[in-house]
Structure 1
């Protein structure tokens, strides 16, 4: 839900992808900087590939952080193009915010009208420039997307936090501001618009209101009712969009949690498989060594058996010779 009246969010919430602390933050910043420069339709595939590379490198926390990066809406992508390729012009536009805020707070109508005219001109020009950049990038922007971009730039002029997100070049959401800028200073007095000197008016007796006053009052009343009805319709539409956003966010969050759980289970299974394979390799090596020892022992046993048989034959032959010698001795 929007955190201030007048600010509506037409797409997923911003997660301006700043890195976390430490070396992982630096790595995440580098990945985010690259991802938010690709076309919106290529973002998810590039993000998943980057997360897979981090996971394969053993950086599971970095992989999870990359997986949480949000794809930018097309209007947010256009704002990112301006932040990346038209930084000076963008800073010039956002620099109007201070003057607009001062004019609003002091009720300086002339300054507010002058700055508002400049703001509208610059916002329109920046939107056209973003359209040219999108065309050069190979992803032309529709008129509705350019209007959404103008809403983002208007919101950035009204809200410093939105301006910071736009300047980051990593905006992910489409925002629009329907308020009238900062609150006026309660002690301020309207600054009268400069008027040319006019000749003194002659005293005129007014006995009744002009004939057209009643008709003008009716027209003003009708205009006020029409404006109120329009405002009610806009509020109803904004509330409908906010409900749709909340539902989409809940669905996405549930899907992200399921994805994370599945990835964790996969990582655990892969680790268990690798451990099992390592154990198989160890046992295979032990088995091969045992087989080598068995073969060596079998060869030694065969050799010892042959030696024993040869010794037995030699002993038998010696016994035979002894018997013959004894027999000859007895004959004498």
Structure 2
């Protein structure tokens, strides 16, 4: 399960050692895919021990294997640092918009944030593909949660920028934390009347009512702000549900497309096998007809030969009878 604002983890708590060497090893380790991390770390520990640097070996051994989503964030920090900084810089604008309760700015920045977070997740997916370790849609969604958390908490942003994130973090709120005492800026008051203009019928009471009117206006704006914040939260929840549904549908579509391609390939294989079997059947049928013809011809030849044999036998017997008769008369 993802951590929810757990304190940022450090790559190592080593102090009495060559931190430059540790940084070098850590940079190398957090660049490899998570499945290869443990083996690479163990090899680095063994190499440090062979050099006699026991403190470095212990520090390397304490480096933790990153989750797949954390590794994707590390890829962005290493290969797309400028774009990542651009995304995280939105946090300041979101905080300002929340402090001033600027609804229009909040909506605009929130939309831009969603677009950039999704774009950065897709870019991380391409980097993972290039690294030979493709990321599933569920992992890309976890990465989006990490980026949202980085925009909400400066300490998490720094951890993401370090390129050594190990845990999957998430944030369920909206943007950076807002000032609980934030109040909307009051609406501009109408310009004072020009000198010499006749005051309106209520001019005498304006000074006394200004304070009460401002309080009423402030309460009304606060109530409106709460209503809009609730509407925004509901819209974000609806958007999150829609995105989750879209991701699920996309995954189902990819699965169905794969199944369809497998079925088509199997149909092609079976069709080829069927055609081969039919060709074999045609060849066998031709051979059977030829064999039948040959058998009939052989049968006819046997009949002719048998008839000749019978006639020859009869002629021989006839001649033998004549010889016997001649021999008796003599």
TM category (shorter chain) comes to: 0.5 to 0.7
Q: Is the 8 A contact 1:76 1:149 kept in 2?
A: yes
- Name the CA distance, whole Å, in 1 between partners of 2:26 and 2:110: 35
Matched, 1:188 2:150: no
Change (3 A) 1:84 1:19: farther
SS in 2 for 1:55: helix
Q: What is aligned with 1:145? A: 139
Q: What is aligned with 1:311? A: none
Structure 1 stretches lacking a partner, 5+ long: 193-219, 231-332
In the alignment of these two chains, the number of paired residues is 191
Q: Is the 8 A contact 1:83 1:90 kept in 2?
A: yes
Q: What is aligned with 2:30? A: 36
SS in 2 for 1:111: helix
TM-score where L is the length of structure 1: 0.53
Q: Is the 8 A contact 1:19 1:25 kept in 2?
A: no
Change (3 A) 1:82 1:107: same
**Structure 2 counterparts to residues 1-332 of structure 1, below 5 A:** 7-8=4-5, 14-17=8-11, 20-21=14-15, 24-180=18-174, 181-189=176-184
Change (3 A) 1:85 1:107: same
Q: Which structure is higher in RCO with an 8 Å CA cutoff and minimum separation 6? A: 1
What CA deviation, in whole Å up to 9, does each residue of 1:71-108 have, x standing for no partner? 00000000000000011110100010100011112111
Structure 1 residue 183 displacement after superposition: 2.4
Structure 1 residue 56 displacement after superposition: 1.6
Change (3 A) 1:107 1:191: farther
- Name the CA distance, whole Å, in 2 between partners of 1:110 and 1:123: 20
TM-score where L is the length of structure 2: 0.53
Q: CA RMSD in A?
A: 2.8
Structure 1 residue 2 displacement after superposition: 10
Structure 1 residue 43 displacement after superposition: 0.3
SS in 1 for 2:170: strand
Q: Is the 8 A contact 2:12 2:62 kept in 1?
A: no
